[in-house]
Amino acid sequence: MGVKFNYAYLRGFIKEVYKTNKDYADFLGIGVTTLYEKLNNKTPFTQREIFKTVEANKLNADDINRLFFNQ
């Protein structure tokens, strides 16, 4: 992956809304290790994972950019 994203806002969002990384990983249907890989720019978030988060939390475009596309 060439582009590195800063997931600081997403990490805070996870703590605020889902409480733990495990709960957010469970919500996405992935393992905690996979979530850590995504948060550390080792693997990208899929469109499905982003869409699921957006739909469940009624996020707007600014929220989406801040959480998933902050460089």
CATH number at residue 18: 1.10.260
In the structure, what pLDDT confidence band is assigned to residue 1 with cuts at 50, 70 and 90?
low
Q: What is the pLDDT of residues 53-64, one digit of tens each?
A: 999 999 999 999
Residue 14 lies in a domain: yes
Inside any domain, residue 54: yes
**Residue 57, CB half-sphere, CA atoms under 13 Å: how many?**
21
Reported pTM? 0.93
Structural domain contains residue 3: no
**Would you place residue 10 in the very low, low, confident or very high pLDDT band (cuts 50, 70, 90)?**
very high
Q: What is the C-alpha separation between 11 and 18, in angstroms, rounded?
A: 10
Residue 2 has pLDDT above 80, yes or no: no
Q: From the CB of residue 36, how many other CB atoms can be counted at a distance below 10 Å? A: 13
Please state the domain count of the chain: 1
Domain coverage including residue 47: 8-68
Do residues 69 and 3 touch, judged by C-beta distance below 8 A?
Answer: no
CB-count exposure of residue 16 (10 Å: 0-12, 13-18, 19+): exposed
Residue 45 lies in a domain: yes
